Amino acid sequence: MAGALRAVNIGLGDFLSPFRDGGTPFVDVDWKPPAQGDPELIDILFDLTAGFRDAHGASLIDQANQTGLRRILAAQPVVRRVLPARELIPDFDENVILHAGPPIEWENMCGPMRGAILGAVLYEGLAPDEAGAERLLHSGSVVCRTNFSRGVVAPMAGAVSRSMPLFLVENETAGNVAHSPIHEGSGRALRFGVSRPPVLARLKWLERTLAPALDRALAAAGGVALKPIMSQALLMGDEMHQRNVAASLAFHRSLAAGLVDAAESSDDLKGIVSFLTLENEQFFLNLAMAAAKTAMDAARGIPHSTLITAMNRNGVDFGLHLAATGDRWFTAPSLYPKGLYFPGYSEADANPDMGDSAIVECYGVGGMALSAVPSVAHLVGAGNLMESLGYTFEMNHICVGRDPDLAIPNCDFAGAPAGIDVRRVVATGILPLIISGVAHHQAGIGQVGAGLVTPPMEVMNKALRAFHRMAVK
């Protein structure tokens, strides 16, 4: 073989151009250095792997992560009630509006989140019009707080005010609770930053007609267990972020007979049944989110654990919690989803990724379980069956376990990837996959698409560095 030049390229594709241009045969190995080639992160990962051992030499971090994983897998979320937010959250003052994601001031919010907050102020009757509402927010008479600070999760802008009904979801295993509002349905919606009169009228119908009936039906049934529904829905083409068709129908059937007694009139019943079965195929999303939050909260506050217990976005920043670092937010600018845009819209119209909904990915469904749902993979531009299988296999690299009760039929019933370890994310460069709706960057327009997005890598690096600093203290 002497005389014939042949090349093997490992990593940087740029080195290949002379071979590509010159016709020299080459093999290109798609390799990336660990931890983005960052010497400080490599040192931290080495230190976290070699150090932090107990008297028997076992890793304190691995043990803590296994504890977290056990708590996540053991969670049994049950939705028990639907009550006004002010009854569930005692310190929910009249002048407070909650929002999705990590903390952000009114002045710094993106368009659709502002639109949603203004809508919530109008919904509460705190101002007669948008201009009045804006004055209250600007002056600080009305203040914004995170959903997370009150145990709430809500999709997209996530605007929640004290009159809105919230689900009470209890993790029967650990006893902790979480809340989420009722999903509004499709079309123009507050969560995408639209506050027109029909949007607010539908929210009032949720408050006055649907919520009391649902609450009576839930109370009569003693609650509805959510994990069995999630488990069934994974067999039925839902990943429970972008698609909740089966889960919503399965939830409805749990209460279908009970709603006959719980509704105040036949007309109410018809409206409720239509909303739950036909008009709102994403109804279950908010229940999946609250369920996931009760599971992830069970793993909060475990010393030495590098598990990610929350991911959310306020449309400007992406926020992250680690199990060991409790309520401390790590943030970095939120990315733009890539996927499908509605006719007439493009990425130029998109707001950066937004919402508390990525809590379902922390739990192992949504984008983490993409192989369960080739129809969603198809929709968000993630390709065919084999590609969607590849995505979930990749997610296994960054998780410490699998949830056998969330079995994915297309993975031959292997469980969904569970327990994202920030060490693995930083080491491999593989980021959790999130399936997300896309809001227009201006208030008042609404949803313009849906797609796949990841956290920014920087938020992972920040969290790992902070964990390390805390651990070595």
Binding site for its own copies (CB under 8 A): 232, 235-237, 245-246, 249-250, 252-254, 256-257, 260-261, 266, 269-271, 273-274, 277-278, 373-375, 378, 384-385, 409-413
Number of neighbours of residue 50 by Cβ within 10 angstroms: 9
Residue placing its CB nearer to its own copies in the complex, 254 or 314: 254
**Long-range CB contacts for residues 58-63, cutoff 8 Å, separation at least 24:** 60/304, 61/304, 61/305, 61/306, 61/423, 62/400, 63/304
Q: What are the residues whose beta carbons fall under 8 Å from the beta carbon of 368, sequence distance 6 or more?
A: 361, 392, 395, 399, 416, 417, 432, 433
Least Å distance, CB 260 to its own copies, is: 5
Least Å distance, CB 224 to its own copies, is: 12
Residue placing its CB nearer to its own copies in the complex, 136 or 272: 272
Least Å distance, CB 245 to its own copies, is: 7
Least Å distance, CB 247 to its own copies, is: 11
Distances (CA, A) of 44 to 49, 173, 256, 308: 8, 35, 54, 17
Least Å distance, CB 416 to its own copies, is: 15
Least Å distance, CB 182 to its own copies, is: 18
Residue placing its CB nearer to its own copies in the complex, 16 or 256: 256
Residue placing its CB nearer to its own copies in the complex, 338 or 378: 378
Least Å distance, CB 233 to its own copies, is: 9
Write down the residue that tokens 């009757």 correspond to: 125
C-alpha to C-alpha distance for 422 and 91, rounded to whole angstroms: 33
Residue placing its CB nearer to its own copies in the complex, 21 or 412: 412
Residue placing its CB nearer to its own copies in the complex, 320 or 395: 395
Structure tokens at 364: 């192992």
Residue placing its CB nearer to its own copies in the complex, 136 or 382: 382
